[in-house]
Amino acid sequence: MHTSSRCYNSSRQQRTASASMSSAFLKALEGVPVADLVQQRELVCIDSNARVSDAVKALDEKWILCAPVRDSATGRYIGLIETSGLVMHVLGALSEGETQTFGDLLLSHSQFGHTTIAELAAQNPSFLKPYEPVQASQITAVSLVQILCNRYRVPIERDGKLLSFVTQTDLIRLLVKHASSWAAIGQQTLSQAGLAATTSSTALVSASTAKHTAWDAFCMMRDHNVGAVPIVDASNCLVGNISAREARYIVREPRLMVMLFGPVSEWIKTKSDGRGSSGVSVTAETTISQVVELMAKEHLHRVYVQDGEHHVLRTLTLGDVINRLAAMH
């Protein structure tokens, strides 16, 4: 998306515009119905005594990104396990140059067939994400915005029973559905909202087609705690995108396992059958409404902000957008 060039010259103007926008945004969402988001859904739960290999299979069979872990002794949920984290843990046993499939890797290392999820979490407490439920009766559109600022998903309970998860993607779709409630606010550009420029907390982490492998890209995500990295060429122009969720493809597709230690450019071509895996870009003059609509339509978790010469400036995530809109003053 490209629009005519226009910029704010003062950071104070940006903060003032953003402040009034956020207050108006939360007020605009008052009364927006959220009942459809808190209905009972089919859920997959992982027992704390499940072996690593069994947990991988359970997540793969349902093709899901995350599942709650239930303590086998108490029946209580003790955390959330993410498919990408589990796959990365298994891949840590892989030596460079090995060509075995993911299934063979699970079988060839006995610890994956003996170590339980509870034992793995005890060894690395950060392996499980916190299970912090919200009661269905307390959910409003405003509270969802505030909760999902820095969380991908939130468990919803009713009378102590887990009903479902509400994700940042669910929230973005809700905002699109009720776009008329905040239409004026949505006309703010990324530049005006302070979402175009890189800051110390949004410094760009990227992988280069010239020097990085796909494995390097996944390690960057793990080490920098980000959900994806853009793939750029020598001029810092966007070539593609690798996200943590793509780790689950490795479980099913042996060819991607082989490509892990090859050039990252080959990975994105192989993953998409030669069509390439382009990240989606916007400019500083793209409006917030356009970004939200684009993310909802294309099922995106992030877009990349480019300058006039197509250089990548920063990654803009769902969380960044929600956090800006929800900022309290």
pLDDT score for 141: 92
Tell me: the pLDDT tens digits for 199-236?
655 567 888 887 899 999 999 998 888 889 999 999 99
Kindly state the average pLDDT of the residues 146-175: 92
pLDDT score for 22: 53
pLDDT score for 208: 85
pLDDT score for 277: 55
Q: Is the pLDDT of residue 178 over 80?
A: yes
Q: Is the pLDDT of residue 10 over 60?
A: no
pLDDT score for 14: 43
CA 69 to chain centre: 20
Q: Rounded to an integer, what distance in angstroms lies between the CA atom of residue 184 and that of residue 188?
A: 8
The average confidence (pLDDT) of the chain is 86
Q: Rounded to an integer, what distance in angstroms lies between the CA atom of residue 265 and that of residue 207?
A: 10
pLDDT score for 328: 35
